[in-house]
Amino acid sequence: MTLTHTSDQPPAPPDNDTVLEADGLTKHFAVRRVGRQAMTRAPRVVHAVDDVTLTLRRGRVTALVGESGSGKSTVARLLAQLYPRTGGDIRLHGTSVTVRGGRRFRAYNRKVQMIFQDPFASLNPVHTIRYHLSRALRIHGHGGNGAAELQQALEELLERVQLTPATRYLDKFPHELSGGQRQRVAIARALAADPEALLADEPVSMLDVSIRLGVLNLLRDLKERLHLAILYITHDIASARYFADDTLVMYAGRMVEGGDSETVTQNPAHPYTQLLISSAPDPDRIVGEGTPDDTVDASGGEPPSLIDPPAGCRFNPRCPHAMDICRTELPPRLPVDGNPDHWASCWLFDAEHGPAKAESAAKAETPAETPSEVSEYSNFPGSDPPDPHETRSGSESDQGSAEGGAR
């Protein structure tokens, strides 16, 4: 990932691998007032997303990480054009696109598909898997001519998501499948459109820990085989390290750090990213032993109100390094350690305001054993692509096999 331009500069022409770009993306939701307040008070808005700029590229996974309410799902829904935007631009292959329903939305939707957190809610319980997938294939013009071609397309879809033999699943209802199998069906439905970009909003967070890795391996396999550009939204920065090529960190509606996943997770620059990493579950961290990480507010604090967000850097009320400028001026994206591919929106990395602190922040110790090294993702083989057929830990299998068939 390269350091992208700010929204007041002209956009650079996209390279061949660029699929989807957001530039200065902004979404403010109006706050409804009731009773007398509606007559007497000025309208107010939730600043859900402000000035978000990102690029999704063919064959790459970009993780969007942040705590609850930071605006991750809103970014995905804006990119999917499910919400009108307040400001900014969305470009597909370099062309600005704004669609609201109708044929143009379907054409866009064919290229940009979304996978939701809860596969049960996203599948209609009264319809079979055959119905869901046939409908998606037909809507996107991939249902073939006649029953035999449709059957072949259905079987290919289920095989692509490793639900085999396909005939075992086609006539099941969603409640007859495990959570992991349902999410695989939701992924198959997205693939029915033959998309170029997949927006996966916390695709494994509602699944048992034992089957999360299988679904992430499947997405990684699809990325490699189909060269999909994937946006992977997660709370879990440890999974971003193993699954995503690039990681973007969001705080209170704004991007605060970005770079390749290894760098962002192993050498986090922004104090908020350091907080996220230090507060990720780590069973080996013994309470009361050692000294707390003083690079961040160890108590965590609370994210700010998005109706009236803090001026300047939105993290300033929680940041132990806050300076005067942080309370008044919004920090721009600044390169970290001279690395043009690693940036942080933090005044510590500005030569004028924080060179000394920048050095100390960059050298601030990250926990000796990072959460990722002890997480459920620890059996990912480093940066090597995982074997999609590798068996997962735990006893439940969510994919099609003699042992883990539909239930």
Ligand X SMILES: Nc1ncnc2c1ncn2[C@@H]1O[C@H](COP(=O)(O)OP(=O)(O)OP(=O)(O)O)[C@@H](O)[C@H]1O
Interface residues toward ligand X, by CB under 6 A: 29, 46, 48, 66, 68-74, 235, 306
- When the beta carbons of 214 and 268 are compared against ligand SF4, the nearer one is 268
Q: How far is the CB of 349 from ligand SF4 (least distance, A)?
A: 8
Q: Binding of ligand SF4 at residue 405 (CB under 6 A)? A: no
AA identity, residue 250? M
Q: Binding of Mg ion at residue 183 (CB under 5 A)? A: no
- Contact present, 291 and 364 (Cβ < 8 Å): no
Query: Helix or strand or coil: residue 27?
Result: strand
- When the beta carbons of 371 and 386 are compared against ligand X, the nearer one is 371
Instruction: Tell me the residue ranges of DSSP E strands in 58-196.
Output: 61-65, 87-92, 95-96, 112-115
- Contact present, 202 and 149 (Cβ < 8 Å): no
Q: Binding of Mg ion at residue 81 (CB under 5 A)? A: no
Q: How far is the CB of 70 from ligand SF4 (least distance, A)?
A: 14
Question: Which listed residue (90, 231, 237, 313) binds ligand SF4 by CB under 6 A?
Answer: 313
Residue 63 interacts with, from Mg ion, ligand SF4, ligand X, none (CB under 5-8 Å by kind): none
Question: Which listed residue (315, 343, 377, 380) binds ligand SF4 by CB under 6 A?
Answer: 315
Both tokens of 50, joined, read 């402000």
- Contact present, 313 and 322 (Cβ < 8 Å): yes
- When the beta carbons of 84 and 300 are compared against ligand SF4, the nearer one is 300
Distance CA 273, CA 257 (A): 7
Both tokens of 192, joined, read 């029915």
Q: What share of the chain is helix, strand, coil (3-state, %, to 5)?
A: 35, 20, 45
Residue 29 interacts with, from Mg ion, ligand SF4, ligand X, none (CB under 5-8 Å by kind): ligand X
Q: How far is the CB of 405 from ligand SF4 (least distance, A)?
A: 50
Residue list 378-397, contact with ligand SF4 (CB under 6 A): none
Both tokens of 181, joined, read 């199998």
Both tokens of 127, joined, read 């319809």
Q: How far is the CB of 342 from ligand SF4 (least distance, A)?
A: 15
Contacts with ligand SF4 by CB under 6 A: the residue count is 14
- When the beta carbons of 155 and 257 are compared against ligand SF4, the nearer one is 257
- Length of the chain counted residue by residue: 407
> DSSP assignment, residue 283?
T
- When the beta carbons of 114 and 296 are compared against Mg ion, the nearer one is 114
- When the beta carbons of 132 and 321 are compared against ligand SF4, the nearer one is 321
Candidate segments 70-78, 217-225, 252-260, 392-400, binder of Mg ion by CB under 5 A:
70-78
Q: How many CA atoms lie within 13 A of 39 on its CB side?
A: 2
Pick from 20, 335, 392, 3: which is nearest to 195 by CA? 20
Residue 321 interacts with, from Mg ion, ligand X, ligand SF4, none (CB under 5-8 Å by kind): ligand SF4
- Contact present, 300 and 279 (Cβ < 8 Å): yes
Residue list 317-376, contact with ligand SF4 (CB under 6 A): 319, 321-323, 326, 331, 346-348
- β-partners of residue 61 are 230
- When the beta carbons of 48 and 123 are compared against ligand X, the nearer one is 48
Residue 316 interacts with, from ligand SF4, Mg ion, ligand X, none (CB under 5-8 Å by kind): ligand SF4
The H-assigned helical ranges of 205-312 are: 209-226, 237-243, 261-266, 271-278
Question: Which listed residue (26, 55, 62, 73) binds Mg ion by CB under 5 A?
Answer: 73
Element (DSSP H or E) covering residue 161: none
Element (DSSP H or E) covering residue 29: strand 18-31
Place of tokens 């695709």: 203
Q: How far is the CB of 279 from ligand SF4 (least distance, A)?
A: 16
Both tokens of 178, joined, read 């495990």
- When the beta carbons of 73 and 134 are compared against Mg ion, the nearer one is 73
Distance CA 182, CA 188 (A): 10
Which residues bind to Mg ion, rule: CB under 5 A? Answer: 73
Residues that bind ligand SF4 (CB under 6 A): 270-271, 313, 315-316, 319, 321-323, 326, 331, 346-348
